[in-house]
Amino acid sequence: MAMNIALLQFFLSFVSFYFIISNGVCSFEQKNIFKVEMLQRKHQFGSKSCILPESRKEKGAIILEMKDRGYCSKRKINWNRKLQKQLVLDNLRVHSMQNRIRSKVSNHSLEQSSEIQIPLASGINLETLNYIVTMGLGNQNTTVIIDTGSDLTWVQCDPCMSCYNQQGPVFNPSNSSSYKSLLCNSSTCQNLQSATGNTEACEFNNPSSCNYSVNYGDGSFTDGELGVEHLSFGGISVSNFVFGCGRNNKGLFGGVSGLMGLGRSNLSLISQTNTTFGGVFSYCLPTTDNGASGSLVIGNGTSAYKNLTPIAYTKMVSNPQLSNFYILNLTGIDIGGVALQDTSFGNGGILIDSGTIITRLAPSLYNALKAEFLKQFTGYPVAPGISILDTCFNLTGVEEVSVPNLSMHFEDNVELNVDETGILYMTKDNSQVCLALASLSDENDMAIIGNYQQRNQRVIYDAKQSIIGFAREECSFI
Ligand SMILES: *[C@@H]1O[C@H](CO)[C@@H](O)[C@H](O)[C@H]1NC(C)=O
Ligand SMILES: *[C@@H]1O[C@H](CO)[C@@H](O)[C@H](O)[C@H]1NC(C)=O
Ligand SMILES: *[C@@H]1O[C@H](CO)[C@@H](O)[C@H](O)[C@H]1NC(C)=O
Ligand SMILES: *[C@@H]1O[C@H](CO)[C@@H](O)[C@H](O)[C@H]1NC(C)=O
Ligand SMILES: *[C@@H]1O[C@H](CO)[C@@H](O)[C@H](O)[C@H]1NC(C)=O
Ligand SMILES: *[C@@H]1O[C@H](CO)[C@@H](O)[C@H](O)[C@H]1NC(C)=O
Ligand SMILES: *[C@@H]1O[C@H](CO)[C@@H](O)[C@H](O)[C@H]1NC(C)=O
Ligand SMILES: *[C@@H]1O[C@H](CO)[C@@H](O)[C@H](O)[C@H]1NC(C)=O
Ligand SMILES: *[C@@H]1O[C@H](CO)[C@@H](O)[C@H](O)[C@H]1NC(C)=O
Ligand SMILES: *[C@@H]1O[C@H](CO)[C@@H](O)[C@H](O)[C@H]1NC(C)=O
Ligand SMILES: *[C@@H]1O[C@H](CO)[C@@H](O)[C@H](O)[C@H]1NC(C)=O
Domain residue extents for the chain? 57-100+116-298, 305-472
What is the rounded distance in angstroms from the CA atom of residue 461 to the CA atom of residue 280? 6
Give buried/exposed letters for 73-100 (b at 16+ CB in 10 A, else e).
beeebebeeebbebbebbbbbbbbbbeb
Name the closest-CA residue to atom 6, ligand 7: 207
In which region does residue 263 sit, left (phi positive, over 0), alpha (psi from -120 to 50) or beta (all else)? Answer: beta
Kindly give the number of the ligand 4 atom that is closest to the alpha carbon of 140: 13
Q: Which of 151, 218, 223, 353 is catalytic?
A: 353
Instruction: Report CA(316)–ligand 9 centroid distance (Å).
Output: 17
Give pLDDT, residue 293.
Answer: 78
Prediction pTM value: 0.84
Phi and psi at residue 191, to the nearest 5°: -65, -35
The confidence score (pLDDT) of residue 110 equals 35
Per-residue pLDDT tens for 4-49? 333 333 222 222 222 222 333 433 457 777 777 666 654 444 444 5
Q: For a pocket test of ligand 1, which of 377, 417, 453 has the largest count of ligand atoms closer than 8 A to its C-beta?
A: 417
Burial class (CB in 10 A: 0-12, 13-18, 19+), 151: buried
Q: From atom 5 of ligand 6, which residue's Cα is the shortest distance away?
A: 224
> Average pLDDT, stretch 172-191?
88
> Is there a catalytic annotation at residue 147?
yes
Confidence band of 77 (pLDDT split at 50, 70, 90): low
Q: What is the pLDDT of residue 475?
A: 86
Beta pairing class for 392-394 and 382-383: antiparallel
Taking the CA of residue 383 as reference, the ligand 11 atom at the shortest distance is 14
- Interatomic CA distance for residues 296 and 240, integer angstroms: 22
For residue range 262-308, what is the model confidence (pLDDT) as tens digits? 988 888 999 999 998 899 999 998 876 656 678 899 988 888 888 99
Residue 384: its pLDDT value, please? 92
| pLDDT > 70 in the chain, percent | 76
Distance between CA 283 and CA 475 in Å, rounded?
9
Pocket of ligand 9 (CB under 6 A): 278, 280, 300, 302, 462, 464-465
Helix pair 107-116, 79-105: axis angle to 10 deg: 90
When pLDDT is averaged across residues 243-271 and rounded to a whole number, the result is 88
Q: Which amino acid is at 474?
A: E
Rounded CA-CA distance 330/408 in Å is: 7
First-to-final CA distance of the chain: 31
Query: How many angstroms separate the alpha carbon of residue 185 from the centre of ligand 6?
Result: 13
Nearest residue (by CA) to ligand 10, atom 3, is: 346
pLDDT band (50, 70, 90) for residue 366: very high
Give the number of the atom of ligand 7 that is nearest the alpha carbon of residue 207.
Answer: 2
CA distance 242 to 182: 8
Q: Which amino acid is at 71?
A: Y
Q: Which of 68, 90, 147, 462 is catalytic?
A: 147
Residue, of 201 and 90, whose pLDDT is higher: 90
The pLDDT of 235-251, averaged and rounded, is 91
Mean pLDDT score, 429-438: 86
Which residue is closest in CA terms to ligand 1's atom 11? 30
Equal fold, 57-100+116-298 vs 305-472:
yes
CB 285 within 8 A of CB 66: yes
Is the C-beta atom of 198 inside 6 A of ligand 6? no
Whole-number Å distance between alpha carbons of 462 and 450: 19
- Are 274 and 281 in contact by the 8 Å Cβ rule? The answer is no
pLDDT of 125 above 60: no
Distance CA 165, CA 13 (A): 33
Instruction: Tell me which amino acid residue 210 is.
Output: C
- pLDDT of 448 > 60? The answer is yes
Write b or e for each residue in 138-149: b if 16 or more Cβ atoms lie within 10 A of its Cβ, otherwise e.
Answer: bebbbbbbbbbb
**Reported confidence tier of residue 431, pLDDT bands at 50, 70, 90:** confident
CB contact set of 95 (below 8 Å; sequence gap of 6+): 217
- Mode of pairing for the β-strands spanning 211-215 and 236-250: unpaired
Q: Give the containing element (helix H, strand E) for 95.
A: helix 79-105
pLDDT at 404: 94
CATH 2.40.30.10 for domain 305-472, yes or no, is no
Per-residue pLDDT band for 111 (boundaries 50, 70, 90) equals: very low
Strand order in the sheet with 447-449: 327-328, 350-352, 447-449, 359-361, 437-439
User: How confident is the model over 369-405, as pLDDT tens digits?
Assistant: 999 999 999 989 999 998 899 999 998 888 888 899 9
Mean pLDDT lowest among 105-114, 240-249, 371-380, 435-444? 105-114
pLDDT of residue 332: 97
State the closest ligand 9 atom to the C-alpha of 464, by its place in the atom list counted from 1: 13
pLDDT score recorded for residue 288: 63
Residue 216 has pLDDT above 80, yes or no: no
Residue type, 414: V
**Which span out of 118-132, 183-197, 204-218 was modeled with the highest average pLDDT?**
204-218
Residue predicted with more confidence, 18 or 472: 472
Q: Quick one: CA dihedral 271, 273, 277, 282, positive or negative?
A: negative
pLDDT for residue 20:
26
Residue 88 CA to residue 81 CA, distance in Å, equals 11
Q: Catalytic residue at 412?
A: no
Q: What is the pLDDT of residue 350?
A: 96
Residue 96 pLDDT class (50, 70, 90 cuts) = confident
Looking at the domain covering 57-100+116-298, what would its CATH class be? mainly beta
Beta strands in 46-120 (DSSP E): 55-58, 61-68
Cβ–Cβ contacts within 10 Å for residue 158, how many?
14
